[in-house]
Chain A
Amino acid sequence: MKKKMKIRKIINNLFFLEILRGLALTLKHLFVGKVTIQYPKEKRKLPVGYRGLLSLLRYDNGVEKCVGCALCEAVCPSRCITVKSTEIEGEPLKRYAKEFYIDITRCVFCGWCVDACPVNALAMTPEYEYAVYNKRELIFDKQKLLSMGDKAFPEREKPIEAQHLNVAAFNTTRKWLPPHGEEGR
């Protein structure tokens, strides 16, 4: 048995069998399909749920979803979100974010803010090309976030009042109706 192994080893060494096997493999790979994606010319298909840049969403009547609760600010591990919320005039029960900043330079794209949002106002777009010449352009304000949401998610949800009858009833008893067609409050 041992002698046989030795003979095999000698034959292996004499005819470079292992090297020949390696050569066959590399020759085979000469004709195998290539994995390279010519990036700027062709782009890869992103998976569902890709976590790109953050954006703010609106309801289908144009009202922004954000209620200014600042839960995203609280949950953000890199503390890149700043929310300044105010109440809507004449509606002490309703609040909204007067200012909303996300510092993309610090964002780690963990998606916790999206999970934390109680009204699904935040969403992650599949946008990953955001190189800029001026770093300050990467501190997104509310206007920028909303416009990105409009671009990435053209299909909007109905207002919460239209979705839930009890919410609608609550609002109508308090003589409050969502202001229609109001953009970027």
Chain B
Amino acid sequence: MELAIQVAVTTLQIAAAMAIVLFHVAYLTYVERKVLGFMQDRLGPMEVGFHGILQPIADGIKLFFKEDIIPSGANKIIFSLAPILTLVPALIGFAVVPFGDEGYSFFGVKISPYITDINIGILYILAISSIGAYGILLGGWASNSKYSLLGGMRSAAQMISYELALGLSIVGVLLIAGSLSMVKITESQSGGFWHWSIFKFPAPQFIAFGIYVISAIAETNRLPFDLPEAESELVAGFMTEYSGMRFAFYFMAEYANMILVSAIAVTLFLGGWYAPFPFLEFTWPSPWLWHFFWFAGKIYFILFFFIWIRGTLPRLRYDQLMKFGWKIMLPLALANILITATVLYLMQG
């Protein structure tokens, strides 16, 4: 009986988390179009609903009813599997993202604002998110198109190079927090923004944060690192042959990945659900809501930054991307680990 209730609660939690994430995925596309439009002195979508507020719904309906085209030379199984292989890892990463700290108990059933808190949370996310690259690579290969293949190859090379820097930039935070659990990492940053690991004495991780954000942009294939897509060179890269709902899966995966990556950045570097000042930790009407508010606010800021970067920078050349990844990001990340480890060792005796 107890197990059944626990399963039901967890299922509800998963449903709620998925609903929140998918809602944000839908409206992130709208916000992106709007912000990019404003940055280019345009208005963005204006037609569907008030100032185009229903645009994501219209887009979703359109994509849902589009014809499902599979190119004649394509490998049908892999071609139809690849978008799912990209979307699913992007979504299940949210299983360990904590939206707040320990929750309420209702009639003996504990409800927490995270689906689960496994003690290797961040490792789990890194492992899961690298599966997403397979989806892109296989999708590019299975399309039987030159553009798709090139896009897939580029994506594989780019993801491998930047995953290293991404993984290594996190290590400093893990050294400080002394845990791999997302909840414990956040809890180690409580009490004002000077305790966030980006500023935390004695080893502030702002360089690691910079490396993380840059690698995260590269990991999610967004401008200025959108070489796998590269409209002006590769039509649409690995997505060239995709249409309808399969295209929508890739599209959703990109935005879900953006949100996931921002959520990790917030959890690891920006103090998760904690307010920037201790006196802002309100408890009325519910500490839950405020935790969610601060967490979401920080995520929104990073997402806005992603869009902002997209509106500012042109795409890198392929060799520049590789050079930057291997010759600058990787040594910097390694140096950061070295310094952090040394400082922590000396300070803690």
Contact = CB atoms under 8 A, between A and B. Distances in A.
B127 interface: no
Contacts of A19: 312-313
B312 A34 contact: no
A29 interface: yes
Interface in B266-313: 308-309, 311-313
Given A27-B308, A38-B46, A22 B39 contact: no
Contacts of A166: none
A26 interface: yes
Contact of B38 (A22, A23, A25, A30): A30
A32 B43 CA distance: 11
Nearest to A41: B46
Contact of B43 (A22, A26, A36): A36
Contact of B308 (A26, A32, A33): A26
Contacts of A38: 43, 46
A35 interface: yes
Contacts of B41: 29, 32-36
A168 B61 CA distance: 72
Interface in A11-66: 19, 22-23, 25-27, 29-30, 32-36, 38
A32 B39 CA distance: 8
Interface string A85-117: 000000000000000000000000000000000
B35 interface: yes
Of A26, A29, A38, the most chain B CB neighbours within 10 A belong to A26
Contacts of A27: 39, 308
B317 interface: no
Contact of A23 (B35, B43, B312): B312
A166 B38 CA distance: 64
A35 B38 contact: no
Interface residues of A, number: 14
A38 B312 CA distance: 25
A36 B42 contact: yes
Nearest to A28: B39
Nearest to B305: A23
Nearest to B210: A16
Contacts of B39: 26-27, 29-30
Contacts of A33: 41
B40 interface: yes
A26 B305 CA distance: 11
Interface in B1-56: 35, 38-43, 46
Contacts of A23: 308-309, 312
A35 B38 CA distance: 10
B35 A30 contact: yes
A22 B313 contact: yes
Interface in B174-218: none
A29 B308 contact: no
A27 to B, nearest CB: 7
Given A19-B313, A26-B308, 6 more contacts: A26-B39, A27-B39, A27-B308, A30-B38, A33-B41, A35-B41
Q: When A and B form their complex, which 9 residue pairs have the shortest distance between CB atoms, in order from nearest? A: A36-B43, A22-B312, A26-B312, A26-B39, A26-B311, A30-B38, A35-B41, A29-B39, A36-B42
